[in-house]
Amino acid sequence: MANRIVAGLAAGAAGTLALNVAGYMDMLVRARPASKLPTRVAARLADEFGLPLYDEENRHEAVGALLGYSNGLGIGVAYGILRLVLPRPPAWLAGAALGSLAMAASDYPATRLGLTDPRQWSGADWMADVVPHMAYGVVTALTFEAIKK
């Protein structure tokens, strides 16, 4: 089981790198700014939980990024553990499922906190969210299969 956890952690890290590269490539190609949503989620969660991050945007930004890494690594580990009992799914299915889960893990809290409303997103907004998360899912699934024991 430890090997599966480590493989899931490494796969989640590779997927998170892929997500970040895809997102930054989008920013480069379309000259769009970085999203402030993770920073806003971190600030709201800090307020909700009474964490002493105060009103320092730099700390909120750091926590927002760390929450993203936690999602990516945690989903990778969970996938590694689940693969102990689940048969190997086709790569496209595993990638789509992992990408969708990662997208939900980041979008649901923001939506629940009232910081965004996906029903109001444009097609470009959706693509900016879907493409990096699908890159995460595919890379995570393929990396896990490449290194698992």
For residue range 63-100, what is the model confidence (pLDDT) as tens digits?
Answer: 999 999 999 999 999 999 999 898 889 989 999 999 99
Q: What is the chain's alpha carbon radius of gyration, rounded to the nearest angstrom?
A: 16
Q: Which of 10-14, 33-37, 45-49, 101-105 has the lowest mean pLDDT?
A: 45-49
For residue range 39-59, what is the model confidence (pLDDT) as tens digits?
Answer: 999 989 888 888 777 668 888
pLDDT given at position 59: 87
Q: What is the mean pLDDT of the chain?
A: 93
pLDDT given at position 34: 92
> 102, 71 in Cβ contact below 8 A?
yes
> 26, 142 in Cβ contact below 8 A?
no
Count of residues making up the chain: 149
pLDDT given at position 149: 66
- Does this model's pTM top 0.75? yes
